[in-house]
Amino acid sequence: MTGTAGVLLAVTAVAAVIDWIAVRHEHRPVEYVFKPLTLVALTGTALALDPADPTVRTWFVVALVLSLVGDVFLMLPGDLFVPGLGSFLLAHVAYVVGLVLAGLDPLGVLAGLVVVGAALVVVGVPLVRGIRRTEPAMAPPVVAYMGVISAMVVCAVGTGHGLAIAGALLFFASDSLIGWGRFVKSHDWGRVAVMVTYHVGQTLLVLSLV
């Protein structure tokens, strides 16, 4: 890792922790600054790294920029859930491309399918039921999103890279928590858990580039 990447990674960590505190205490003005700043610093980290494969890094940077756009949509007042969902769907597509270019092992892909299948049974089925009960019009886009993020997890497991696998699973957990809180049952700690798993997951994906 380069010195610049290390500094930017430290900025990412500080901004993320401040954002988590702001989310926990519902300090929206602070959140409006540090939520996007975290992704800006993390994108800078990815750009400053000395990656194993520059092409993979390019696709990961595209995913980070799209995630930043999604963050802004989900952060702003009003219900911009669908534009945010669309931004993150495209981000996962970019991650899938990057992970495929990194190289997949067939047995790893098979293991990823097993992991994702189990997760969808435990989380996906009740989540879809909750959507159909509360906001049935949201079922098609959410199911499509679940398919794309599941593909991202499968590809991450297929790479056999520990950091990529952990990052993808945490990203999956974060998005599952968002869906659960909106469509099934909300919890006081829900938004904080979403942000912690999201930021750590994205950071691990970036570090897997080295």
Site of tokens 């920029």? 65
Give the separation between CA 3 and CA 49, rounded to whole angstroms: 9
Query: Residue 41: helix, strand or coil by DSSP?
Result: helix
Q: What is the pLDDT of residues 146-178, one digit of tens each?
A: 999 999 999 999 999 999 999 999 999 999 998
Average pLDDT over residues 194-207: 98
Q: Tell me the HSE value of 60 on the side-chain side, using a 13 A CA sphere.
A: 34
> Are 49 and 2 spatial neighbours (Cβ–Cβ below 8 Å)?
yes
pLDDT band at 187 (very low <50, low <70, confident <90, very high): confident
Site of tokens 């769907």? 89
| Residue 151: per-residue pLDDT | 97
Give the separation between CA 91 and CA 43, rounded to whole angstroms: 13
| Residue 13: per-residue pLDDT | 98
Average pLDDT over residues 78-91: 90
- Residue 205: which of 175, 147, 158, 161 has the closest Cα? 161
pTM of the model: 0.94
| Residue 76: per-residue pLDDT | 84
Average pLDDT over residues 105-116: 96
Q: CA of 99: how far to CAs of 157, 173, 178, in Å?
A: 9, 19, 24
Average pLDDT over residues 95-118: 97
Q: What is the pLDDT of residues 44-83, one digit of tens each?
A: 999 999 999 999 999 999 999 999 999 999 888 877 888 9
Report the sign of the C-alpha dihedral through residues 198, 121, 59, 68, in that order. negative
Mean pLDDT of the chain, nearest integer:
94
> Are 16 and 40 spatial neighbours (Cβ–Cβ below 8 Å)?
no
What does the block give as tokens for 106? 């067939």
Q: What is the pLDDT of residues 25-43, one digit of tens each?
A: 999 999 999 999 999 999 9
